[in-house]
Structure 1
Amino acid sequence: MSNSDIIVSLDIGTSKVRAIIGEMKNGAINIIGVGSADSEGIRKGAIVDIDQTVTSIRKAVDHAERMVGIQITDVYVGIQGNHIALQTNHGVVAVSNEDREIGEEDIERVLQAAKVVALPPEREIINLVPKQYLVDGLEGISDPRGMIGVRLEVEATIVTGAKTAIHNLMRCVEKAGLQISGVILMSLASGVMSLTKDEKSMGTVLADVGAGATTVAIFDQGSLAATSTLPIGGEYVTNDIAYGLRTQTEQAEKIKLKYGCALVSDAAEDQKFKVVRMGTNIEKEFSQVDLANIIEPRMQEIFHLIREEVRRLGYGDKVNGYVLTGGTVMLPGTLGLAQMELESSVRIAVPDYIGVRDPSFSSGVGIIQYVSKHMKLRGGGGGSKKPAGRKSGAAAAPKPGIFERLKNMFSEFI
């Protein structure tokens, strides 16, 4: 990458759309702009209304642009959902250089070879993640560039998704007037931001508890081993509050953010608030303990379902801890409740950058870190000559159609 590049991530969630602008300067990342907008047109992590989603994306991007004073043209988009699947594959090539030194071209060819896999017509490759390279049978190599060898192999995890979901996501971003530099699995991005090298090696569950869905990703032996999406999240807590206090959902969300506590034992009886009851103008007073009695059972259920899903994926006894992220885990008392329910070591991951020190930004910041770490080595991605996101002559050129670009994108992407 050049010594100063702009990387823009787009995290399209159920409650918020977030655009984050990261600047890569001499190998270090600085977050220079953040834009967010209420998410319309998304239910349980899936797009249900394209026009509303386009409006939300545009608002978030405009917000970020105003903060920094540049025009965003290119973005990396995060994707998640229960249509995501993982499979492993192997690629083998002969080293092409006469002196048998492995170069960029050889790595590119072996990754392309690993992408040759039989897929049903309704599925498409999203990401390819090398687990290890082998040079003449020598295992455990993370970067074979510059090594001498005759035969180069790669063991890789292929991330696939439903074409419909991918195309709808891309259509929304294109209709918002943006070019897509790449589509990245949220779990991979969050893993780069949230987990240490040891946590990835020893077996750790990364649970991203969003508003409409919870994504469970299991990292083992240094890479993503399994992922799954549960259709439950912070929205369900809000709905329970609205039902329990008989108030509007919008009011319930504000009460949750201001007075919410996930543990009854941590709540204060003397912390009082008033709620306008639905269908009347009458206000009724409640305490934080009343509110915690509604929140705790639902949060318990979320953690119970996470634990059951880890068991279903076959990792019940193989995980050494849980890392929580996502907007819902911000509720006070969540960590204590999670430790009791999951019966394991638990911590909450928060991005360590000014302006985004909040678990809800983990995926967006993770995308920027993932791009800077994994795509600078390859032909596509963040190593463009013009900084992605700054207006230039290249951005004014006519855009090819979405399906033509879809056809070519993944060969450039990795």
Structure 2
Amino acid sequence: MYVGLDIGTTSIKVIVAEYLKGQLNVIGVGNERSAGVSRGVIVDIDQASEAIGKAVKAAEEKASVQIHDVVVGISANMLKIEPVTGTIAIGDAAREITEQDVQDVASAAIIQNLPPEREIVNLVADEFVVDGFDGIKDPRSMVGVRLEMHGMLFSGPKTIVHNAKKAAEQAGLNVELAVVSPIAQGKSILSDGEQDFGTIIMDLGGGQSTAAVIHDHRLKYADVDPEGGDYITKDISVVLNTSIENAEKLKRNYGYADATQASEENEFPVDVIGQSQPTTISEQYLAEIIEARLMQIFDKLRAKLATTNAPGLPGGIVLTGGVAALPGIADLVKAEFDTAVRVSIPDQMGLRHPSFTQALSLVDYRGQMSEVDLLVQSAVSGSGQLAGKVQVPADPTQVQTEEKDSRHRPAKQVAREPKQKKNRGQGLRDFFSNFFD
């Protein structure tokens, strides 16, 4: 049982789910209006923690469990991605490689002088090398005298990472795992083929829009434009001279991303500030306001992606985030980027909206992590607590956790423990493997 915590600009979402035999079953959801968050970054820890607490309480009531551990998503603002290598000597004589050895070689990979303003978020192993034999995914129980690990290190601004963790801790939670949001989304919403050949994920949120490139099953690039759905709402408010609340309702009830798909005949009233009588406008006029802002966002993201040759990747673009729910947005992006486009919508009952994709992907990512992934990531936190398991008894409100070190939590609690495509040919695959080398 795991819990995903998505701290967004517009809303804070908490999802409690069971992960059994590769099957994800959502048992509780909490959704609360955000506070203390601006452009995807926490600017007031007290307000944010209070909103997190409300969302958690709602999820606890629906799931009938007590939440303690959570998986928190970290935005890709100023994300730095760099390759790392670690090497350790197993011993003078060959012996079996243990879990401790895996943790040690991961720790060796992150021994470096990070700037004081940055903090490591994730460490992902690409392969292990035992006595010169590479391509190994799990070196445990193998025999060798020298162990190497090649992986990718993801770091972000310490302020962003610290504030997210601190707000969760202040709400009474233990941050079991922090994950760079695009990493979790790539593993969750993309098929194996899309991750392999290369795909762009565009997360269109309320406070910011993120473009991330997944290629060869790894996050290769991520950048953020500090504009999102809130900017669209403000545009509507200014142009139509109406309140922010009314503008948000208009966007949700009548908004189209593509003005060519909106009707000029369909009209609706708008309450105008300073006037006693509402003004009538058409769907098309509203869509033109929305489209103008979206095109500005897409132009900026396209300029950033152009430096990576990512727009030419076979997987095209996958849209997610609350703004991706606007009718006609896939057609607008397809025309702008001239590539295949689809909108990712969770298939879980009650969560069939793009805004829930991020919170759900956090749970899904944690559930898919192998024991080796957990050991490598634990080197970042400096403990082996991630390798712990959760057993759920008949009474879901009474959950015992079994971990390597159980001193840090009470005996009875619960978890806040928190697709396939055909190969397109080796020649094409080799061609695209050089895109980011």
Q: Structures share a fold, TM > 0.5?
A: yes
Q: Does 1:380 align with 2:385?
A: yes
Shift of 1:386: 5.5
Q: Does 1:328 align with 2:323?
A: yes
Shift of 1:76: 1.2
Quick check: 1:375–1:383 contact (8 Å CA) kept in 2? Answer: no
Which amino acid is the alignment partner of residue 313 of structure 2?
A: V
Deviations 1:182-233 (A, max 9, x none): 2111111111112122222212211111011111111122211111111011
For the structure 1 residues 397 and 148, does the alpha-carbon distance in structure 2 shift closer, same or farther, using more than 3 Å as the test?
Answer: closer
Quick check: 1:203–1:219 contact (8 Å CA) kept in 2? Answer: yes
For the structure 1 residues 96 and 249, does the alpha-carbon distance in structure 2 shift closer, same or farther, using more than 3 Å as the test?
Answer: farther
| Structure 2 residue runs without a partner (length 5+) | 375-383, 410-437
Task: Decide which of 197, 215, 222 is 2:192's aligned counterpart.
Answer: 197
* Larger deviation, residues 316-325 vs 222-231: 316-325
Quick check: 2:209–2:228 contact (8 Å CA) kept in 1? Answer: yes
Which residue matches 2:378?
Answer: none
- Give the 5 Å matches for 1:87-126: 87-95=82-90, 100-126=95-121
Q: Does 1:287 align with 2:297?
A: no
For the structure 1 residues 95 and 354, does the alpha-carbon distance in structure 2 shift closer, same or farther, using more than 3 Å as the test?
Answer: farther
Q: Does 1:159 align with 2:154?
A: yes
Q: State the secondary structure of the residue aligned to 2:385.
A: coil
Task: Decide which of 214, 222, 230 is 2:225's aligned counterpart.
Answer: 230
Which amino acid is the alignment partner of residue 381 of structure 1?
A: L
Which residue matches 1:30?
Answer: 25
Which amino acid is the alignment partner of residue 32 of structure 1?
A: I
Which residue matches 2:412?
Answer: none
* Larger deviation, residues 90-99 vs 383-392: 383-392
Quick check: 1:375–1:381 contact (8 Å CA) kept in 2? Answer: no
Deviations 1:10-69 (A, max 9, x none): 000000000000112344221111110111111111112222211211111111111112
For the structure 1 residues 232 and 22, does the alpha-carbon distance in structure 2 shift closer, same or farther, using more than 3 Å as the test?
Answer: same
Quick check: 1:335–1:346 contact (8 Å CA) kept in 2? Answer: yes
Q: Does 1:360 align with 2:365?
A: no
Alpha-carbon distance in 2 for matches of 1:129, 1:153: 14
Shift of 1:103: 3.9
Shift of 1:106: 2.9
Q: Does 1:271 align with 2:276?
A: no
Q: State the secondary structure of the residue aligned to 1:381.
A: helix
Alpha-carbon distance in 1 for matches of 2:166, 2:218: 30
Give percent identity, aligned residues only.
37
Quick check: 2:90–2:97 contact (8 Å CA) kept in 1? Answer: yes
For the structure 1 residues 197 and 103, does the alpha-carbon distance in structure 2 shift closer, same or farther, using more than 3 Å as the test?
Answer: farther
Q: State the secondary structure of the residue aligned to 2:29.
A: strand
Q: Does 1:315 align with 2:304?
A: no
Alpha-carbon distance in 2 for matches of 1:375, 1:55: 33
Which residue matches 1:21?
Answer: 16
Which amino acid is the alignment partner of residue 55 of structure 2?
A: A
Alpha-carbon distance in 2 for matches of 1:66, 1:167: 28
Which amino acid is the alignment partner of residue 62 of structure 2?
A: M
Shift of 1:101: 4.0
Task: Decide which of 49, 58, 61 is 2:56's aligned counterpart.
Answer: 61
Alpha-carbon distance in 2 for matches of 1:369, 1:337: 29
Which residue matches 2:176?
Answer: 181
Q: State the secondary structure of the residue aligned to 2:339.
A: coil
Quick check: 2:94–2:144 contact (8 Å CA) kept in 1? Answer: no
Deviations 1:361-387 (A, max 9, x none): 111111111111125443433733466
Which residue matches 2:69?
Answer: 74
Which amino acid is the alignment partner of residue 309 of structure 2?
A: Y
Alpha-carbon distance in 1 for matches of 2:61, 2:311: 49
Which residue matches 2:239?
Answer: 244
Which amino acid is the alignment partner of residue 388 of structure 2?
A: G
RMSD (CA atoms):
2.6
* Larger deviation, residues 359-368 vs 140-149: 140-149
Alpha-carbon distance in 2 for matches of 1:382, 1:192: 20
Shift of 1:155: 1.3
Q: Does 1:259 align with 2:235?
A: no
Shift of 1:100: 4.1
| Structure 1 residue runs without a partner (length 5+) | 1-5, 400-414
